[in-house]
Structures are given as structure tokens and as C-alpha cells.
């Protein structure tokens, strides 16, 4: 199986003591769900790295991935700020936490929500639960930073999956986001993404002032994604 066709990797660097995170978003690819999700998670859990490695999985696969890869930190792809009761089809944060989730993505370009949704979610989850809020532009990143999530990730939708890294195509959106977020908080980690493919892109992103980068096709199109991931990390 070629895992490069089924996952999106996100490399993040936390604001606390320079902690490095490597986050893999499984999305809903056909070969990254069910038993395939377990296989990929097991492989990730076997990686030897000083980085904090995270798998972001479908709610359907959360429990099984946590069990199959106990040494791997697992996040869920989305949560809803709801209470217990009549909420058919919604994803309760407490259920995700009980099933082993240590964090979540929210407001990804493929699943946008309102600012109120994010604010209520942040109020509901425990302080040690990681929330990475995604933004399409500087203005949205600034609004999200005011809510104090663990990370704000800026990713221009038009560059997602493209051949040119955001660090080259639009470096001003990166530096602008850094300035906007830092004017609000020194605790919120700052990420950038879209089109990032190699170690050079990672280095440039860090030089622009980010806490890390979101990686996509540089790994997902590789016949050896784990090797590609290790190479990307080694360039930092």
C-alpha cells in the first residue's frame, strides 16, 4: 500500500519550550479508514523521533486507532460544542476524550464552522486538550488567535494541494499572520500550510517566524511517506 496517496501530514512546532509536533491528518481517504487507518497508525507509532507525533483520525476510527497504537497521540478531526442529549449526528467532546482523543482540528478548510462554534468548543474542552484552529487568511487567523486555541494554522485554500509552497507564493500571508497573532498572544502556536513539499519550504517557514508548517503533497505523493517525513524533519 502506498500511504503517500492517503494522508496529509502536518508538521507543527509548539510554542512551549520549542516542542516539535508531527501531525498526520488521515481525512476520509479510502485507504486511510478502518483497518488501513490502524495500519498507518501502527507504523507512525513505531517511528523513533524526538518530535511529538500525532495522528488525526475520523471519529469512526478513534477508538480502534487508540487501542492499536497505544504509544501514539491521537486527535479527532472535528468536534461540536454540544451537551449530552438530543444531538443526533453531532460529535461530543467528552465522548472523544473518553475514547482517547488528546486534541482536535477545527475549522479546517474542508469543514468550516463559525467563530462562535470554536469559542464554545474552547470553553468546553479541558485546558490540556489541544485545539488547532485553521484559518484561510490573516484576518481569520487574528480572530481565532483572540480565542486562545493551542495553535492557529493559516492555509490559503487556493494553494492547498498545489505545486508552489505558500512560503514562496505568498510569504506575506505568513509574516502577516505571525504579526497579527503575536500582537494578541505569545502563547498561541503559529502554523502555515499549502503546497509545502520539502525541507527548504520548512526552513523558510520558520525563517518567516512561524511555529511550524502544514505539509501535504510533499509527503502524500511520495512512494515512501515515512522516509519523506523523516527527511522533512531532518531539514529543520
Nearest to 28 by CA among 54, 10, 8: 8
CA atoms of 79 and 111, how far apart (whole Å): 11
Which triple of cell numbers denotes residue 174? 505568513
Determine the length of the chain.
236
Cβ-based burial of 5 (10 A; exposed 0-12, middle 13-18, buried ≥19): middle
Q: Which residues contact 156 (CB under 8 A, 6 or more apart)?
A: 136, 137, 166, 169, 170, 173, 194
Residue 79 near residue 111, CB atoms below 8 Å = no
Rounded Cα distance, 104 and 62, in Å: 11
| Greatest distance between any 2 Cα atoms in the chain | 49
Q: For residue 187, count other CB atoms closer than 10 A to its CB.
A: 12
Residues 55, 63: contact at Cβ < 8 Å? no
- The catalytic residue positions are 108, 155
Amino acid at each position: 500500500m502506498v500511504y503517500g496517496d492517503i494522508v496529509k501530514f502536518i508538521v507543527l512546532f509548539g510554542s512551549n519550550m520549542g516542542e516539535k509536533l508531527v501531525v498526520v491528518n488521515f481525512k476520509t481517504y479510502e485507504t486511510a479508514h478502518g483497518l488501513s487507518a490502524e495500519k498507518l497508525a501502527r507504523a507512525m507509532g513505531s517511528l523513533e523521533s524526538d518530535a511529538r507525533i500525532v495522528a488525526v483520525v475520523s471519529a469512526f476510527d478513534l477508538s480502534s486507532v487508540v487501542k492499536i497504537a497505544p504509544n501514539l497521540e491521537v486527535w479527532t478531526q472535528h468536534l461540536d460544542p454540544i451537551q449530552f442529549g438530543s444531538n443526533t449526528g453531532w460529535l461530543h467532546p467528552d465522548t472523544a476524550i473518553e475514547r482517547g482523543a488528546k486534541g482536535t482540528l477545527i475549522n479546517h478548510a474542508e469543514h468550516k464552522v463559525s467563530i462562535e462554534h470554536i469559542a464554545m468548543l474552547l470553553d468546553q474542552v479541558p485546558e490540556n486538550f489541544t485545539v488547532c484552529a485553521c484559518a484561510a487568511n490573516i484576518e481569520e487567523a487574528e480572530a481565532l488567535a483572540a480565542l486562545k486555541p493551542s495553535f492557529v494554522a493559516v492555509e490559503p485554500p487556493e494553494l492547498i494541494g498545489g505545486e508552489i509552497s505558500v512560503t514562496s507564493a505568498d510569504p506575506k500571508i505568513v509574516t502577516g499572520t505571525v504579526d497579527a497573532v503575536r500582537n494578541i498572544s505569545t502563547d498561541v502556536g503559529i502554523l502555515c500550510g499549502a503546497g509545502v513539499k520539502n525541507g527548504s519550504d520548512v526552513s523558510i517557514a520558520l525563517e518567516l517566524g512561524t511555529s511550524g508548517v502544514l505539509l501535504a503533497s510533499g509527503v502524500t505523493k511520495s512512494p515512501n511517506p515515512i522516509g519523506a517525513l523523516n527527511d522533512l524533519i531532518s531539514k529543520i
